[in-house]
């Protein structure tokens, strides 16, 4: 390993944080494909197990606020270590739970730790990335979360189709390895990547009276609120494995094979999330032309995806895999279907484009939070957004379950799942509108934050030279975040 703070050490640190973010979401993604298996073993309904997922979303969201505030005031590394240890312990306990009460409690413990890791990690990563590359690097950050959820779905189905406890123990062991890797990451100084603060020992910390200041930035309000409706739609998507499982059962497959089919199909059909990198690149590119760039990319993406999702859930699929075969044979059969069954191929193409479009919002959301907030506010703003996200996702998870049950009277499975999931995608529409509204306020908020950081730098350098160089250096640094015209 290179010297502390060197380019290799910083790159290593970013990679470790990306992996940690992915593992956090693996823990969340394990449960949905196993709703039926866990419920049957613990003697409760699928709805009771879905309640554990809802509880996880809410506990994580509320815990993130406290962890983020502490992280914005103190050394962030110990906070991250504590959060990781807690979620690893809770996940392991989930795999050892002897009854439903223990399972519910263990999921809440894991969620509490996850809240700390997500919010504080974001604050650290934002300090490792220069403003001009935030969209690209944040796309990897957002991608890691999406990939983590998909990996959780896949691991849950593959390792848990005959023993639901195994995936939880596997995820907790992986968390221990990631924690050990994290101990060697670079302890990045707050504000380290900001060009305005080059060479400055930035000592600003958040205070409780800063909350009105945070909410006064109108862009923050839209960035926080958009997650409420977006996550209702995203929350409904955790039932995607159930839709594909029901389709498989409707075609006569046994429950074990149907669970595996559902998990693999749900994973394959969300591969478009990997293309969130294109959304990050598009946001970076358009941002250099207008400060509205990132917000407009996110707005267009989520709005354009809605009709594609509606189509996706109603395109009929003919599944042909060997019933009762081993895991490898079923997975191979699914991928063969993509090439040999036109209905599956069409569904995959539509799904990839739809998920790619909605995934464009993630890196640009992360980047905009960093763009319009000083370093000591970013973790807290992220956690406030995450609270609304968690509430929306929990609401979506509960409401869609109620919708499926209500629709079952009029539409037999799997049609009730298709109708319910399609209806919930319309919650993306107000999200797209709020991103457009954010595009109208982001220039002003970026300019004010940029000016405030330059003021802090000038206090440390009475000659007002940034980094001790010539005044031209100030102009070049300012140009990196100059909001430019708003037209």
Q: What is the pLDDT of residue 473?
A: 41
Cα–Cα distances (Å) from 109 to 59, 84, 89, 370, in that order, read 8, 11, 8, 29
Measure the CA–CA gap between 338 and 261, rounded to whole angstroms.
13
Write down the pLDDT at residue 326: 79
Please give the Cα distance from 227 to 139 (Å, whole number).
17
pTM of the model as a whole: 0.74
Domains and CATH numbers, the chain: 7-191 (1.20.1250.20), 209-459 (1.20.1250)
- How many angstroms separate the Cα of 113 from the Cα of each of 70, 80, 85, 108, 409? 14, 9, 7, 9, 40
Nearest to 23 by CA among 95, 114, 119, 99: 114
Q: What pLDDT shows up at residue 460?
A: 66
> What integer pLDDT is reported at residue 58 of this predicted model?
82
Nearest to 43 by CA among 103, 109, 92, 94: 103
Rounded distance between C-alpha atoms, residue 336 and residue 334, angstroms: 5
By the 10 Å C-beta count (0-12 exposed, 13-18 middle, 19+ buried), 95 is classed as buried
**pLDDT at residue 461, rounded to an integer:** 59
Per-residue pLDDT tens, the chain, 487 aa: give them.
Answer: 334 557 788 778 878 887 887 887 788 788 878 888 888 889 888 778 888 887 887 888 888 888 888 888 878 888 888 989 999 999 999 999 989 999 999 999 999 998 888 778 877 877 877 777 777 777 777 777 767 777 887 788 788 878 899 999 999 999 899 889 888 887 777 777 777 777 777 777 888 888 889 999 999 999 999 999 998 888 788 788 888 888 888 888 888 888 888 888 887 777 777 777 888 889 888 998 999 999 999 999 999 999 998 888 888 778 888 888 877 888 888 888 888 888 888 888 888 899 889 988 888 998 899 899 988 888 889 888 888 887 887 777 778 778 878 888 888 888 888 888 899 999 999 999 999 999 999 999 998 988 888 887 777 655 544 443 433 343 443 344 444 443 3
**Residue of 319, 58, 24 lying closest to 145 (CA atoms):** 24
- Residue count of the chain, please give it: 487
380, with CB counted inside 10 A (0-12, 13-18, 19+), is buried
**pLDDT reported for residue 30:** 85
The residue to which tokens 């970026």 are assigned: 446
Burial class (CB in 10 A: 0-12, 13-18, 19+), 66: middle
Structure token pair of residue 119: 């919010």
């Amino acid at each position: 390993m290179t010297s502390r703070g060197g380019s290799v050490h910083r790159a290593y640190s970013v990679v470790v944080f990306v992996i940690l973010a992915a593992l956090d979401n693996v823990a969340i993604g394990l449960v949905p494909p196993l709703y039926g298996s866990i419920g049957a073993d613990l003697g409760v309904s699928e709805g009771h197990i879905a309640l554990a997922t809802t509880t996880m979303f809410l506990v994580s969201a509320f815990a993130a606020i406290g962890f983020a505030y502490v992280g914005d005031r103190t050394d962030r590394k110990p906070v991250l270590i504590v959060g990781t240890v807690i979620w690893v312990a809770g996940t392991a306990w989930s795999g050892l739970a002897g009854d439903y009460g223990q399972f519910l409690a263990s999921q809440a413990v894991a969620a509490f730790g996850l809240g700390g890791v997500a919010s504080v990690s974001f604050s650290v990563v934002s300090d490792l990335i220069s403003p001009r590359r935030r969209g690209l690097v944040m796309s990897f950050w957002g991608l890691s979360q999406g990939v983590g959820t998909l990996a959780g779905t896949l691991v849950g189905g593959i390792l848990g189709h005959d023993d639901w406890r195994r995936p939880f123990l596997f995820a907790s062991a992986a968390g221990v390895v990631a924690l050990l890797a994290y101990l060697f990451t670079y302890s990045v100084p707050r504000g380290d990547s900001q060009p305005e603060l080059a060479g400055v020992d930035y000592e600003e910390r958040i205070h409780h009276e800063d909350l009105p200041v945070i909410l006064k930035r109108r862009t923050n309000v839209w960035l926080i609120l958009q997650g409420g409706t977006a996550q209702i739609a995203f929350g409904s998507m955790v039932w995607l494995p159930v839709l594909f499982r029901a389709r498989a059962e409707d075609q006569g497959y046994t429950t074990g094979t149907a669970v595996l089919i559902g998990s693999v199909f749900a994973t394959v059909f969300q591969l478009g999330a990997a293309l969130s990198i294109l959304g990050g690149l598009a946001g970076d590119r358009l941002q250099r032309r207008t400060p509205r760039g990132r917000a407009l990319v996110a707005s267009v993406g989520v709005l354009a995806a809605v009709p594609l999702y509606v189509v996706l859930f109603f395109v009929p699929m003919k599944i042909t895999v060997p019933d009762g075969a081993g895991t490898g044979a079923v997975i191979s059969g699914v991928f063969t279907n993509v090439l040999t069954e036109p209905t599956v191929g069409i569904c995959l193409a539509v799904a990839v484009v739809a998920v790619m479009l909605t995934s464009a919002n993630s890196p640009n959301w992360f980047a905009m939070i960093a763009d319009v907030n000083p370093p000591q506010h970013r973790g807290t703003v992220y956690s406030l957004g995450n609270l609304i996200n968690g509430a929306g996702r929990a609401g979506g998870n509960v409401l869609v379950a109620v919708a499926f049950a209500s629709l079952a009277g009029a539409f037999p499975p799997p049609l009730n799942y298709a109708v319910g999931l399609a209806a919930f995608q319309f919650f993306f529409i107000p999200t797209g509108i709020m991103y457009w509204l954010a595009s109208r306020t982001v220039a002003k908020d970026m300019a004010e934050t940029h000016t405030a950081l330059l003021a802090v730098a000038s206090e440390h350098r009475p000659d007002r030279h940034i980094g001790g160089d010539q005044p031209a250096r100030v102009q070049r640094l300012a140009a990196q975040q100059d909001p430019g015209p708003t037209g």
